[in-house]
Structure 1
Amino acid sequence: MSPINIRLANLFRVGIGPSSSHTVGPMRAAAAFRQGLLDAGHTRGHITVDLKGSLGSTGRGHHSDLATMAGLMGWAPDSCDPAAVLALRETLAADPCLTAMLDGIDIRLEPDDVNFLRARDTRDEQLPHPNTVTFHLRRGDEVVAAETWCSIGGGFIRRPEEVADGDGAGKPRPVPHPFGDAASLLERAQEMGGTVGQVVLANERALSHDDGAAATTHLDLVWDTFNECIDTGLAGRGVLPGGLGVQRRAPELLAQVHRGDVDLGYAPIARAQAYAFAVQEQNAAGGRVVTAPTNGAAGIVPAVLVQSAQQHGFSRVEIHDALATAAAIAMLVKTHASISGAEVGCQGEVGTATSMAAAALCQLLGGTPGQVTTAAEIGMEHNLGLTCDPIKGLVQAPCIERNAMGVAKAVSAAQLALHSVVQEVVSLDRVIRVMKRTGEDMREEYKETSEGGLAVNHPEC
């Protein structure tokens, strides 16, 4: 079994909402296509874009067109101005030049040349992935350059041939503590007498050229972004954009906690759920969040860890260890199943995030590596079969509240693992394999197409 070489910076990506697979991924793919055109010496023409499969079905609500335009402008998810992205349709309608600041280059894009092809429009086409985007550079009726990319979840992008070959991450590199599944991860932690997170951090240091300094800096950025996103979300008021009339709930829930209006035993979870609401409400508004492992499930890990850190006063070193533990779980799921709602439903997003948060919290509370993997298994097991059916393609209902429920499940899973006195029946490796099979068996209507479930049974909306 090949060792997993997924890097922390690729797993925890800072980007804009509302979706990692439908916003961050298409933006990165578009930027790659733009750079390829410039590298190849193309100086003029106009671009057309076809968003296919789930990107076409739910892309309007996910701002996939705006993200694609932003990438073709050369903008990046972690540094772009979210307000400028939201205004791009008007900006390009006034001046469709994508290369205005580049001398001698005139490549253009009209906003209406980004086409949404719903799942039903591509049923006769064998897509390499449910989230597929194709770019064309045209001069008149001639196509002079074309490229297809797949957004495979969590902001990761791959070319079609890489998707067919697997993860497409390249040849595995040697690491001091190689693991390819949960069983070998647990063995490595026990061999080194450390935590699951320490295994990941040791491998990260070996994969870097700076003894892990960049990883430390990135984890600091992740933690700071978690906190900033929570603070910004808690300061937000009013109705979220998109037409569903979803009211921001984070500030009022936290206010109820502060007033003592919630049961004392529920208060810590309520506080964490307020944090999850805050993050997801920012995500829904197109704000900056961290994929953990996706934007659609971005509220669970920060909510659980920030609340726990406030309650127990964990150090930055302990937080980094916990983040690496959460990352280990996501690495396993991404390698052996999927973190894409378009591939396996929301069990791959909220299910994975719940599993990540449960493992990280269990470790912070003193759990052994065996208890940590048990917590992760419980978190995933009780999200099996969870569908991805966002109403109007918006990452709002049921997504925001689903993150809050994930918080409660993660806390419960961590506590059950810490206090269990019997051997687990289902291993983490097995539940990940079952999740993948469940996703394969799930009808396409329930995998981010807005053609089934809550997405079509909402007459009151």
Structure 2
Amino acid sequence: MVKEQISVFDMFKIGIGPSSSHTLGPWRAAQRFVHSLVQRGKLEQTEAVKILLYGSLAKTGVGHGTDVAVLLGLSGDDPVTFNVDEVTPKVAQIKQRRRLMLGGTHEVPFSYAGDLFFLYTESLPFHPNAVTFQALLVDGTAISETYYSVGGGFVVQEGDDGHAHQDIDLPFPVQSANELLGWCIRTGLKISELVLENEQAWRSEEETKKGILRIFSALRDCIYRGCHTMGTLPGGLLVERRAYKLNKKLIGGKPYTDYESWVAAIRAGGDGFQYTLDWVSCFALAVNEENASFGRVVTAPTNGAAGVIPAVLHYFIVFHKGFDEDKIIRFIATASEIGSIFKKGATISAAMGGCQAEIGVSSAMAAGALTECLGGSQRQVLMAAEIAMEHHLGLTCDPIGGLVQIPCIERNTMGAIKAITAAQLALQSNPDKAKVSLDAVVKTMWETAQDMNAKYKETADGGLAVNIPLSLPEC
């Protein structure tokens, strides 16, 4: 049996909101399809393209920006570098001109209404998030490829086994929390140190650390931007952005000019419980409001749950003076390892497991990372992750209007607070006396996911999505 190998940079990917599985994944799939046409020498012979969205990608596709993502991916744009301010204008231009520039070089006619199909009642067996691309060639033949967006921006082409980095021999291969703990006991390494050792199988330690700091820069910029942007979120729900007003209220007129002076101004307000709680919520709101607005975010491990880890990390930076590159690297490395255990043993896709697979996993990742950075042992790190997930089990995914806004944005604040609480509980506990292991809760989460009714798995067919009367097309 081939063991899945997951890097820090698989769990944390820079991209554009609002969804890693419905936006980033389909975007990457579209890019891969164009690359496949180029590799086959068929791009210039393509005279038309058809896009078929199945299952969850169809049901919440418009609200999650799947249609936008596949058009930009087919156009050759990259989510890491594409100007977020150009997302809406470019898609509008494609619709108006009824032309699509494949790979940015080969133009074909394209009708949004006639060439992009939302197959609401059809679902493919491998995964609910499926998309098929068809290229019709000038000689009358066609090329068709199907891709599955399996959560967190991971993409599997039909026929692949879905495992990344299979040909690399990691010094400390990990499939479960028990294996991770075993390696830590044998080597004496902290979880973050073990992660950095494994990453050297792909690149130098210096490159890994630089890459992690780039991830942090994206997280930092997203929070700062979200706290300083006002307005209403797109999509028709008319949700007002709250982070801007909350930041302004909490900062209390203290002057600042950039991120560093902003952090100093926040610290100057003290560390009272209510003040701290408000800031954690503000950090999480800021990220997910950016995510809902097609802003640049980091999958952590998904876009829908992108605010939890940045909020907890900034809680550590601001209120525990964790503004130190080494500590930030340790935090992100530890979080990635916890997340990879959930992906290997269960899922990080809400379309497969409900919101427990997104907010629950992100809360577990943040709890474990915070525990290590606050001086917890390896066992306490795993205990914190277990506590956080244990109290997210069964959480459904029921986005109102198919948008990643209600209840998604507030759920990130809840996940962040639960992560901090879980870390504190673990730090004040003896993990040897714990009754529930992280592996047990991963197994339970997966069993719960399999038992969960499909209408609670990112379909907008159940829960709040059908009990809030709104005149939106996807309600």
Do both share a fold (TM > 0.5)? yes
How do 1:21-420 residues align onto structure 2 when only pairs under 5 Å count? 21-42=21-42, 43=44, 44-92=46-94, 93-94=96-97, 96-99=99-102, 102=105, 105-112=106-113, 113-118=115-120, 121-122=121-122, 126-139=124-137, 142-162=140-160, 165=161, 167-169=162-164, 171=166, 173-208=168-203, 211-259=204-252, 264-314=272-322, 315-420=324-429
Q: CA deviation at 1:190?
A: 2.3
Give aligned pairs, total: 450
Q: Does the aligned pair in 2 maintain the 1:204–1:215 contact within 8 Å?
A: yes
Q: Aligned partner of 1:150: which letter?
A: Y
1:304-358 CA-partner distances (Å, limit 9, x unpaired): 1012112222221111011110000110000110000000000000000000000
Segment drifting more, 172-181 vs 437-446: 172-181
Q: CA deviation at 1:128?
A: 2.0
Q: Does the aligned pair in 2 maintain the 1:69–1:88 contact within 8 Å?
A: no
Segment drifting more, 130-139 vs 76-85: 76-85
What is the rounded CA distance, in whole Å, between the counterparts of 2:159 and 2:51 in structure 1?
A: 20
Q: CA deviation at 1:85?
A: 2.2
Match of 1:458 among 457, 468, 471: 468
Q: Does 1:435 align with 2:445?
A: yes
Q: Does the aligned pair in 1 maintain the 2:132–2:145 contact within 8 Å?
A: yes
Q: CA deviation at 1:251?
A: 2.2
Q: Does the aligned pair in 1 maintain the 2:4–2:166 contact within 8 Å?
A: no
Q: Aligned partner of 1:450: which letter?
A: A
What value does the CA root-mean-square deviation take over the aligned residues? 2.1
SS in 1 for 2:199: helix
Alignment CA distance shift 1:391-1:183 (3 Å):
same
What is the rounded CA distance, in whole Å, between the counterparts of 2:134 and 2:393 in structure 1?
A: 39
1:187-224 CA-partner distances (Å, limit 9, x unpaired): 2122222211111111001232xx23332121111111
Segment drifting more, 350-359 vs 250-259: 250-259
What is the rounded CA distance, in whole Å, between the counterparts of 1:221 and 1:400 in structure 2?
A: 24
Q: CA deviation at 1:86?
A: 1.7
Alignment CA distance shift 1:108-1:201 (3 Å):
farther
What is the rounded CA distance, in whole Å, between the counterparts of 1:78 and 1:346 in structure 2?
A: 25
Q: Does the aligned pair in 2 maintain the 1:136–1:143 contact within 8 Å?
A: no
What is the rounded CA distance, in whole Å, between the counterparts of 1:3 and 1:369 in structure 2?
A: 23
1:343-378 CA-partner distances (Å, limit 9, x unpaired): 000000000000000001111111000000000000
What is the rounded CA distance, in whole Å, between the counterparts of 2:194 and 2:149 in structure 1?
A: 28
Segment drifting more, 185-194 vs 258-267: 258-267
Q: Does the aligned pair in 2 maintain the 1:3–1:172 contact within 8 Å?
A: no
Segment drifting more, 244-253 vs 399-408: 244-253
What is the rounded CA distance, in whole Å, between the counterparts of 1:410 and 1:401 in structure 2?
A: 14
Q: Aligned partner of 2:185: which letter?
A: Q
Q: Does the aligned pair in 2 maintain the 1:2–1:180 contact within 8 Å?
A: no
What is the rounded CA distance, in whole Å, between the counterparts of 1:35 and 1:421 in structure 2?
A: 52
What is the rounded CA distance, in whole Å, between the counterparts of 1:101 and 1:372 in structure 2?
A: 46
* Structure-1 residue corresponding to 2:5: 5
Q: Aligned partner of 2:242: which letter?
A: R
1:122-149 CA-partner distances (Å, limit 9, x unpaired): 1xx5432100000111248945111100
SS in 2 for 1:60: helix
Q: CA deviation at 1:152?
A: 0.4
Alignment CA distance shift 1:143-1:18 (3 Å):
farther
Consecutive unaligned residues in structure 2, runs of 5 or more: 253-265
Among the aligned pairs, what percent are the same residue? 41
SS in 1 for 2:201: helix
Q: Does the aligned pair in 2 maintain the 1:2–1:172 contact within 8 Å?
A: no
Segment drifting more, 237-246 vs 430-439: 237-246
Q: Does the aligned pair in 2 maintain the 1:350–1:402 contact within 8 Å?
A: yes
Q: Aligned partner of 1:189: which letter?
A: C
Q: Does the aligned pair in 2 maintain the 1:30–1:68 contact within 8 Å?
A: yes
Q: Aligned partner of 1:171: which letter?
A: Q
Alignment CA distance shift 1:203-1:283 (3 Å):
same
Alignment CA distance shift 1:358-1:40 (3 Å):
same
Q: Does the aligned pair in 2 maintain the 1:280–1:299 contact within 8 Å?
A: yes
Alignment CA distance shift 1:324-1:115 (3 Å):
same
Consecutive unaligned residues in structure 1, runs of 5 or more: none
Q: CA deviation at 1:89?
A: 3.2
Q: Does the aligned pair in 2 maintain the 1:151–1:157 contact within 8 Å?
A: yes
Q: Aligned partner of 2:187: which letter?
A: M
Q: Does the aligned pair in 2 maintain the 1:66–1:88 contact within 8 Å?
A: no
Q: CA deviation at 1:181?
A: 0.7
